[in-house]
Amino acid sequence: MRIGMPFALSSYTYYPLWKIFLEILGQEVIPSELTNKSILDLGVKSCVDDACLPIKIFHGHVLFLDGKADTILIPQIMSVQKKEYSCPLICGLPEMVRYSIALKTPVLELKINLYKGGEDIAHNMETFGLQFTNNKKLLKHAFQFAYEAYVKQQKALQKGFAPEWMGQNLPQNGSFFGTLGVLGHPYVLYDPFLSGHIIRYFAQTGFDMLTPERIDEDTASRYAKTLPKKMFWSAGRHLYGSAMHMAAKKVDGILYISSFGCGVDSIIADLCERIVRKSSKIPFLLLVLDEHTGEAGIKTRIEAFCDMILWRQKNGRDVSPHGQYIHCAQGIL
Amino acid sequence: MVVTFPHMGNIYIALKAFFDELGIRSVTPPFCSNKTLELGTRISPESICLPLKLNLGNYLESLQCGADTFIITGSCGPCRFGYYGVSEKEILNDNGYPVDVVMLDPVSGMGLLYKRLRKITGQKSILKVIPALKKALNIACLADMLEKKIFYIRPREVNTGSADKAYGRFKKEVYRTHGIKNMLGLIAHTCDELGTIPLDQTAKPMKIGILGEIFTIIEPYTNLNIEQKLGRMGFEVHRSLNASTWITDKIFYRSLGFYKNPEVYSAAKPYLDRCIGGHTWECIGHAVLYAQQGFAGAVEVLPFGCMPEIVSKSILPQVCIDHKMPILTLVVDELTGETGFDTRLEAFCDLLSYRRRKINS
């Protein structure tokens, strides 16, 4: 069977896991193209207008695959960690797609729910694999291989390599001007179209880029525990923990790349900004992307941010020309 | 310590009675208004949903009345509401209000919840607190029943507006009433007053269901008094979610592993088979039930950017086609204009009336 895999949202994290698992079970996996203008347009036209940009792009990828494969894989990721959830839109993704698009191709749902604990992802994947084969040994084998590939990808990301679809020219060796913390969901950061080739661009600016993927789960969780209430989104916990880790490591600047309408970011980005500004003097920039964003606009702002950091290193004395910090946390604006 | 709480539909009636009964000093914030929203929006994050902006507005207005401790309940996700408490505390402290936000949620364990509850009730005997809580819950149920009665009267009353007049008096009187006994008396009095309103017995109003996100459904300011508008246009309104049912369902039924209205979930099953946060599951279930009960139509109200309701928004068109019941979706936020809202509502109601005439002929 030819299985179409929309290259959006969770695929940016779990692509090798799903691809290799299905391939060992004898299925052919057809990933959609990297996001481009026509995919975005397809998505924006078919999706509800209130949804966030990555969700719209996912709809575009599904439409792109419609008719090109025998079935389309749509993950239903309720939870990837005990007592934590995904964002509600990701939880309800199969339903959203099914009722927004009149698909010609049937949908294949991959259910992952680790909320209650006890079960692990292997169990979820093997239950999913039962529809292709009854061979329990093969399923176990397939999962093991797939998981190894996934771990390998995560390790490469942790070392600072860009994912393979973005070109292999990272990391840059040599002396860096400094380290920039770049926060954002993987499906925003590593989508070359959505984020305006941000990773490739950073490789040229001479700054070392510290992404949430470079910070390991345990460190992030430890920092996230400083929150007064348990963070119930896995993505939110990791982002918040990463931001606090970056602040503790005294990076030269923190850049938060968010997409318009993202509910997780509306809480997390705001909390990160407030706490980073309160506890340190690290510059913080929040960039919100949507379907009208031009690449030049993103670059201008990042360039200005990087220039500012460089000036600051050279001769800035942390004195704002305004005389005071201009930020709502200080109660001026 | 002076306690205050955000507005959410009729909850203020029960909470005020509860605090007065126990002798805890409390401030009931003024009803939500444009000023409340403006105050709240000024200090809120840009893309947060409407309820947080209104909550902050309520807090700021209560602060002027002398409150220093804020109470908020919370869930454990995956909707943003679960993190309101933390976010609100940060925002208020950053803006120079050193206030305390007490989060009453079971996430961090029952022990902590009990400790936080004791922080508010102080040294009062737990044997006094629990019966008061029980009675307050009863008041919440009665207040919702009162509103249900008004939904019935509005399209049938001979003199338009008489039910609203009585209810307006009731709302004003609540602020001046102390203690559970007096509050119960006030509710009973208003109930009698509503009973004397002359009704047109021949009227056969069409029914409209209100679906969507619970805060926007039950807080009349956010939905621009949609129930009153529909009622005056001659429609009988049914609200899918109420504050009292929400509390009883969450506290009593869910903790025992049951659902209060299992038929809602089974009705939603062909479309959605699990809880994805907020009230999406209930929203779909109620839409199907309304269609089966022969409602003329339904209106879904949601705040802009509400994550769970975006999912129901994409499912509802299919429910609409399958069950042949028109559903209107209205998104509200601080930029909602009343005229635009009214126009769409009127057009929808006209459509329903034409449809009924066509079916009848």
Which B positions 203-242 lie with beta carbon below 8 A of chain A?
none
Who's near B244: CB < 8 A, 6+ residues apart? B10, B137, B140, B141, B143, B144
- Whether residue B143 lies within 8 A of chain A, CB to CB, comes out as no
**The predicted structure's pLDDT at residue A333:** 41
Q: Are residues A78 and A198 in the same domain?
A: no
Distance from CA of A321 to the nearest CA of B (A): 22
Q: What is the CATH number for A269?
A: 3.40.50.11900
Tokens representing A80 are 């990837």
**The predicted structure's pLDDT at residue A325:** 59
**The predicted structure's pLDDT at residue B262:** 86
CB A209 within 8 A of CB A239: no
Who's near A280: CB < 8 A, 6+ residues apart? A247, A250
Q: What is the CATH number for A21?
A: 3.40.50
Q: In angstroms, rounded to a whole number, what is the distance separating the alpha carbons of residues A241 and B176? A: 48
Q: Are residues A206 and A84 in the same domain?
A: no
Q: Name every chain B residue with its beta carbon within 8 A of the beta carbon of A260.
A: 47
Q: Are residues A259 and A122 in the same domain?
A: no
Q: How far is CA B130 from the centre of its chain?
A: 24
Q: In angstroms, rounded to a whole number, what is the distance separating the alpha carbons of residues B357 and B361? A: 6
Whether the bond between B30 and the residue before it is cis, its omega within 30 degrees of 0, is no
Q: How many domains does chain A fold into?
A: 2
**The predicted structure's pLDDT at residue B206:** 93
Q: Which of these three, A97, A129, A157, is where a domain ends?
A: A157
Burial of B256 (C-beta count, 10 Å sphere; 0-12/13-18/19+): exposed
Per residue in A235-276, pLDDT (tens digit) is 999 999 999 999 999 898 999 999 988 999 999 999 999 999
Q: How far is CA A216 from the centre of its chain?
A: 15
Q: Are residues A180 and A295 in the same domain?
A: yes
**The predicted structure's pLDDT at residue B114:** 83
Q: Are residues A78 and A193 in the same domain?
A: no
B296: DSSP letter: S
Q: Are residues A82 and A32 in the same domain?
A: yes
Candidates B128, B126, B125, B104; CA nearest to B116 is B104
Q: Are residues A246 and A290 in the same domain?
A: yes
**The predicted structure's pLDDT at residue A332:** 44
Q: Are residues A167 and A293 in the same domain?
A: yes
Candidates B207, B279, B284, B209; CA nearest to B243 is B279
- Whether residue B272 lies within 8 A of chain A, CB to CB, comes out as yes
Who's near A164: CB < 8 A, 6+ residues apart? none
Q: Say which CATH class B3-128 falls into.
A: alpha beta
| Regions of chain B where pLDDT drops below 70 | 107-108, 255
CA nearest to B318 within chain A: A99
Q: Are residues A269 and A258 in the same domain?
A: yes
Over chain A (333 residues), what is each successive 10-residue block's mean pLDDT? Answer: 92 92 93 92 92 94 93 93 91 93 92 85 90 90 93 88 68 69 92 81 80 91 90 93 93 92 92 91 90 82 87 66 56 44
**The predicted structure's pLDDT at residue A145:** 93
Q: Are residues A23 and A35 in the same domain?
A: yes
Work out the angle between the directed axes of helices B84-94 and A263-279 (0-180°, nearest 10): 40
Who's near B119: CB < 8 A, 6+ residues apart? B102
pTM, whole model, 2 decimals? Answer: 0.92
Candidates A37, A40, A89; CA nearest to A61 is A40
Q: Do the first three CATH levels of B3-128 and B205-361 match, i.e. the same topology? A: yes
Q: Are residues A184 and A322 in the same domain?
A: yes
Tokens representing A327 are 């930020």
Q: In angstroms, rounded to a whole number, what is the distance separating the alpha carbons of residues B267 and A62? A: 28
CA nearest to B94 within chain A: A329
Q: Name every chain B residue with its beta carbon within 8 A of the beta carbon of A259.
A: none
**The predicted structure's pLDDT at residue B317:** 94
**The predicted structure's pLDDT at residue A170:** 56
Tell me whether residues B95 and A275 touch, CB distance under 8 A. no
Which of helix, strand or coil describes residue A3? strand
Tokens representing A18 are 């799903």
- Residue A207 pairs in a beta bridge with A178
Q: CATH number for the B205-361 domain, one of 3.40.50.620, 3.40.50.300, 3.40.50.11900, 2.60.40.1190?
A: 3.40.50.11900
Distance from CA of B305 to the nearest CA of A (A): 6
**The predicted structure's pLDDT at residue A83:** 87
**The predicted structure's pLDDT at residue A298:** 85
Where along chain B do its domains lie?
3-128, 205-361
Domain that holds residue A37: 2-157
**The predicted structure's pLDDT at residue A297:** 85
Which B positions 274-303 lie with beta carbon below 8 A of chain A?
274, 276-278, 280
Tokens representing B80 are 């943003």
Q: Name every chain B residue with its beta carbon within 8 A of the beta carbon of A275.
A: 90
Q: Which of these three, A157, A172, A199, is where a domain ends?
A: A157
Tell me whether residues A266 and B305 touch, CB distance under 8 A. yes
Q: Which of these three, A134, A157, A180, is where a domain ends?
A: A157
Q: Are residues A32 and A124 in the same domain?
A: yes
